[in-house]
Chain A
C-alpha cells in the first residue's frame, strides 16, 4: 500500500485516477465487511453491502468533506447501508424464522456474543460494534451515526446493559 494519506488518494481519484480508489478499498474493505458481517450475520449479505458501500462512496466522493476522516465518512455510508439491508432482510424473512439464530448448548464464547448481538436492534448492534469492535471514539461515533454525543452514550450504555443481561442469562441457562 502507498503512503499517501486518504485525502491525497481522494484528490487523485477526483482527478480521474481510479487506481487511487483501489487503494482506499484495500485500506478499508475489511472493517466495512466485518461490520456488515457482524450486523447481518451472513457472508453473502456482507459482501453485497460492502460492494454497495464502496460504490456509493465513489458516487458521492465529490461530497466528501476533507475536514473529517475518510474512514469515518465511509463508515457513515456503511452504517446506513447495513441498517437498510437489515430492514430489507427482516421484511423478506418476516414470516420465516429459519434464519433467526438459535441457541446451542455447546456453542463457543464467540458464537454466544454474536447471537447476543443479534438480539439487539440493528442500530444498537451498530453502536456496540463501532465502540468495542472497531474502537471508534465517542466523537467519531457521533459523526458516523449523526446522533448527538449525549444520545450516543445513553444508547450505548443501554445497549451494553441489554447485551450483558442476554449473555448473563445464557450463561445461567448453560450452568443449570
Chain B
C-alpha cells in the first residue's frame, strides 16, 4: 500500500515538478519498491496516452455560424443597455415562478423532469419517511431533488449542489432541521451575479440569517421571491417553514448581466 506522501511524490514526478533531492528520493523508491515502480510507470503511460489524443478540426463553417449568431448591437451600446434590463428580468422571473406553481401547470411541471418516474418514487419514499415538519429525516433516504436528476437527489438532512453560470460559480446547500428548511447560497468567484429564489405558496419565508465567515447578501423579499446580489465575499441564508408533509418547491435562478444563465428547480 502506497502512502499519501509517496503518492504525491510519484504524481509530482509524472509532472516533472521535482527538485533534485526529491527526484533522487523517488528514484530510490522506484529502485527499492516494485509497487512504486509499477505505479509510476502506469501513471506516466496514462498521461502519455492522453497527450497523444488526436485533435479534431471543427467544421469549416462553425466560425461563420458563431459570427452570424453574435448580437448586432455594438459593444458600447451593449454595455449601456445591460444595466437597464435587470429590473425587467426580475419582473418576468416573478411571473415564471407564479406560473410554475399554479395548479393547472402541475401536470406539466411533473413531466418536465424526464427522469420523473424514478425521482417521483424517491420523493414519495422520502416523504413517507418524514413525520410532522421539524423531524430530522432518515439520512439514508433521498429527501428531494434538484433539477429532477438522479445525480442531484438530495440525500440526508443536508445536500449541496453547484450553481455554475457563465462566469459565476456558487453553491446552493439545502438542509432540514428542527427549526425549518435552510437554503444557503454562496459564491466562489469574485464575479457578481443576481440570485433569485422563488418559492411556492406551501412554503413560508421565515427569515434571513448570516453565515459567520461571510458578509450577508442584502436581499429584497416580495410575494414568494427573494433577490440578492452575490459574489465570493457574501452569502445568502434563508429560512423557510412548510406545511406538514407537503413538499416545498423552489426555483433558483442566476442572472449574469442580462442573461439568466442557470435555472434550478429544487423539491424538498
> Which residue from A13, A22, A50, A114 sits with its C-beta under 8 Å from B75?
A13
The answer to whether the Cβ of A70 comes within 8 Å of any Cβ in the partner chain is no
The answer to whether the Cβ of B257 comes within 8 Å of any Cβ in the partner chain is yes
The answer to whether the Cβ of B20 comes within 8 Å of any Cβ in the partner chain is no
The answer to whether the Cβ of A77 comes within 8 Å of any Cβ in the partner chain is yes
* B43–A164 CB distance below 8 A: yes
Q: In this complex, what residue of B is CB-closest to A37?
A: B56
* Stretch among A1-9, A80-88, A98-106 lining the B interface: A80-88
* A55–B66 CB distance below 8 A: yes
* A-side contacts of B171, CB under 8 Å: none
* Stretch among B45-53, B92-100, B132-140, B243-251 lining the A interface: B45-53
* A-side contacts of B14, CB under 8 Å: 160
1/0 per position for B32-68, CB-CB distance to A under 8 A? Answer: 0000000000110111011111111111001101110
In the assembled complex, how far is the CB of residue B8 from the closest CB belonging to chain A, in whole angstroms?
7
* A29–B58 CB distance below 8 A: yes
1/0 per position for A22-51, CB-CB distance to B under 8 A? Answer: 100110011001100110000100110011
* A-side contacts of B7, CB under 8 Å: 157
Assess A51 versus B69: contact at CB under 8 Å? Given A132-B50, A133-B50.
Answer: yes
**Contact size class for B?**
35 or more
Q: In this complex, what residue of A is CB-closest to B14?
A: A160
* A33–B149 CB distance below 8 A: no
* B-side contacts of A153, CB under 8 Å: 11
* A51–B67 CB distance below 8 A: no
The answer to whether the Cβ of B206 comes within 8 Å of any Cβ in the partner chain is no
Q: In this complex, what residue of A is CB-closest to B64?
A: A22
In the assembled complex, how far is the CB of residue A26 from the closest CB belonging to chain B, in whole angstroms?
6
* B-side contacts of A43, CB under 8 Å: 56
* B-side contacts of A18, CB under 8 Å: 67, 70
